[in-house]
Amino acid sequence: MAIDDIGSSLGSHAKDIKINLKHIITELGSPGLTEKQIHMVLLASVYTTGDILLIESIEVELKGLLSDVEINEIKSSVSMMTMNNVYYRFVHLASDKEYVRMPTNLSMDVIENPGVDKVDFELACLAVSAINGCKMCIDAHLSKVTKEGVSKVGIQSVIRIAAVINAVAKALRI
């Protein structure tokens, strides 16, 4: 199933989501990002939703547009950030601030040494963190991509992709 087919399978309750889906997957609709960054953020967002139909559809759509290494690193970003988002969301929300000072004792080597461009990896991590709602991780990845020169418009595009993909997954389920 292609992206157009996904849009077609969305009910009338998701008319705006369907329009947004077609828009965000283009460089015109996601300014400040390269085509490859759009694809990587799209895939990270899809994996984060866990929607099997959506995952299979987007993997088919992106076949040949991302390398096996890039796809593997996106899977790494989603796996890592899912763990970190739970941990750091707890640290942020816990009333006892002693947890902030405690070592995590969690392996996170892939974040510092991804097998793809560091900025692209960080953008994927930002999308996952936005979907999972972790303020500490959002702030950490925002800081990294901003230091690397990603514009606010590019960052906004990442978040729009994540938001739309999350909404597509929900709309498909209902």
Which sequence positions are flagged as catalytic?
A: 134, 137
The values of phi and psi at residue 63, to 5°, are: -55, 125
CA separation, residue 20 to residues 63, 155, 174 (Å): 22, 17, 18
| Distance of alpha carbon 60 from alpha carbon 70, whole angstroms | 15
Give the residue ranges of DSSP H helices in the chain. Answer: 3-9, 15-24, 35-49, 52-62, 68-93, 98-101, 109-112, 118-132, 135-147, 152-173
Q: Cβ-count burial of 122 within 10 angstroms (0-12 exposed, 13-18 middle, 19+ buried)?
A: buried
Q: Is 157 exposed, middle or buried (0-12, 13-18, 19+ CB in 10 A)?
A: buried
> Where do we find the tokens 């303020």?
135
